[in-house]
Amino acid sequence: MNFADSEVVASILIKAGHRIVDSLDDADCVLINTCAIRDNAEQRVRHRVRELQAQQQRHRLHIGVLGCMAERLQSQLMVEEENVSFVMGPDTYRRLPEVLENLTASANSKFEIQNSKFSTETYADIQPVRLGGNGISAYISIMRGCQNYCSYCVVPYTRGRERSRDPQTIVDEARTLCEQGYKEVTLLGQNVNSYRWKDEAGQTVGFPELMERVALVSPQLRVRFATSHPKDLSDELLQVMARHDNICRCIHLPVQSGNNRMLKLMNRHYTVEWYLDRVAAIRRYLPDCSITTDVIAGFCSETEEEHQDTLRLFRQVGYDYAYMFKYSLRPDTYAAKHLTDDIPDEVKTRRLEEIIALQGEIALENNRREVGRTYEVLVEGTSRRSKEQLFGRNSQNKVLVFDRGNAKPGDYVQVKVTDCTAATLLGELVIG
């Protein structure tokens, strides 16, 4: 989401006459686009801001902090990090040219531009500038904000309530990318399943219909999406996916915990039983679909048995990949105000390590079953280990590494899996 936002920011500034430079020595302004989802992310931002002080001593350099951390801390951040010139929340980027103009005119100005929590901003009319990409895959933001109010999550307080983009602007962006040679797009939202657009005539478009419209742009354009909320994952969406081969067979379905008391405390709006029903529906409609997830270890008051419930769920679902974290208290959330962060850090760490170890075993077991199968792979680039090898991803979003032969980035090739690790499939090109 932040990467997609940065591409919107670049478009706004370039249109206003600014240019992106390759070297910090040539920069008049550095923009740091931030995340507030975990404390570790915010600490990295502060470290980066302080690193830039040395550069500021050599020449005049403005530092702007954008995004969720800027919205969460606002003026506090400018006081604590004295070398920050301005902060701007995620819905205020159209004002960037104005802010930079004012900074240029005044040697000592500092600016704080606050978000409106009830903003209708979607940046639907802005064609993002694709930054540092491979010219093969691109992100398309289809909606902004979130109103699920999971008790641990700061996003609704930094990005506001859900609002969806006009579906035609999304389809047009996908078509433009396809015409420019891109082979894959990922539709982005905090909860894409709740995408809903209503036009002036009262006609509505939901996420399944939007997915179908984007898939119909071209059979050669792969379509992915992130992130799904389990409470909104419908059979209708799965049926649309089953009808279109170019909609990738991979669903990211964050579970967060395998225990119902924890899920209720997290305000996740589903039970373990509901979640497993959605997994069963995925398997029914899309037998070859990979499922990935997010999980939190050591949430408030989590018992050892509840932690074991999460491990049991991991074994039951058999995830192909997981983003695994120990609980990090975020200010202003329901959990920060009403729950006690009472799990010792060493217990959180141990539980997280157990989840990571189990997921490694499951991923390796899953990948071993792939040996002997052949997949269509979209080539993305050269392997980091050898210039003689390429890498790409299959529809299931698994990375395959193989000898390059005559293939090149952007090609669709057939690759037979010959070996694997827990993270990567190794294979050989199928010729002819």
Q: What is the CATH number of the domain that holds 415?
A: 2.40.50.140
State whether 310 and 412 are in the same domain: no
The answer to whether residue 118 is domain-embedded is: no
Question: What would the DSSP string read from start to end of 348-368?
Answer: HHHHHHHHHHHHHHHHHHHHH
Is the domain of 302 the same as that of 256? yes
Alpha carbons 64 and 40: distance in angstroms, whole number:
20
In a domain, 120, yes or no: no
Based on the fold, state whether residues 320 and 408 are members of the same structural domain.
no
Q: Based on the domain organization, do 342 and 384 belong to the same domain? A: no
Radius of gyration (Cα) for the chain, nearest Å?
Answer: 23
Residue-number span of the structural domain to which 405 is assigned: 374-429
Written as tens digits, the pLDDT of the chain (432 aa) is 888 999 999 999 999 999 999 999 999 999 999 998 888 899 999 999 999 988 888 888 999 999 999 999 988 998 999 899 999 999 999 999 999 998 887 766 677 776 666 678 999 999 998 887 789 999 999 999 999 999 999 999 999 899 999 999 999 999 999 999 999 999 999 999 999 999 888 899 999 999 999 999 999 999 999 999 999 999 999 999 999 999 999 999 999 999 999 999 999 999 999 999 999 999 999 999 999 999 999 999 999 999 999 999 999 999 999 999 999 999 999 999 999 999 999 999 999 999 999 999 999 999 999 999 999 999 999 999 899 999 999 999 999 999 999 999 999 999 999 999 999 999 999 986
Shared domain check, 332 and 292: yes
Angle between helices 235-243 and 272-285 (to 10 degrees): 20
Within this chain, do residues 210 and 230 fall inside the same structural domain, yes or no?
yes
- CATH number, domain containing residue 273: 3.80.30.20
SS3 state at 222: strand
Within-domain flag for 122: no
Q: What is the pTM of this model?
A: 0.92
For residues 275 and 233, the answer to whether their CB atoms sit within 8 Å is no
Number of domains in the chain: 3
